[in-house]
């Protein structure tokens, strides 16, 4: 039982020493750590969040309205 306790303490001390050396740059190759949280997206997620998309959509709508005003559909008499 005492031997198991000594082995566990030795393993913990060794682990902490290796970890400390890696953090300080004294060890061999440093292992990449997992990021703490995912990074937020750098671009709009949905089209209605994108200003350029909305601007283009408005421009297309205005162009269509101008075409309709230039060439109005024939009005039936009556």
Structure tokens, 41: 């997206």
Higher pLDDT pick, 10 / 78: 10
31 inside domain? yes
75 occurs within a structural domain: no
Whether 42 is in a domain gets the answer yes
Structural domain span for residue 20: 1-70
pLDDT in tens, 52-61: 888 999 999 9
Is the pLDDT at 10 greater than 90, yes or no? Answer: yes
- Residue 77 inside a domain? The answer is no
Q: List, for residues 15-74, the tens digit of each pLDDT value.
A: 999 888 877 776 556 566 666 777 776 766 677 777 888 899 999 999 999 988 887 666
Q: What are phi and psi of 39, to 5 degrees?
A: -80, 145
Rounded to two decimals, the pTM is 0.35
Q: Give me the number of domains the chain comprises.
A: 1
* In a domain? residue 4: yes
């Amino acid at each position: 039982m005492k031997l198991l306790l000594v082995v566990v303490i030795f393993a913990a001390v060794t682990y902490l020493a290796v970890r400390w050396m890696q953090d300080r740059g004294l060890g061999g190759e440093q292992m990449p750590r997992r990021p703490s949280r995912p990074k937020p997206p750098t671009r709009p997620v949905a089209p209605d969040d994108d200003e350029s998309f909305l601007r283009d959509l408005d421009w297309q709508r205005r162009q269509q309205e101008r075409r309709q005003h230039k060439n109005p559909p024939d009005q039936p008499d009556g």
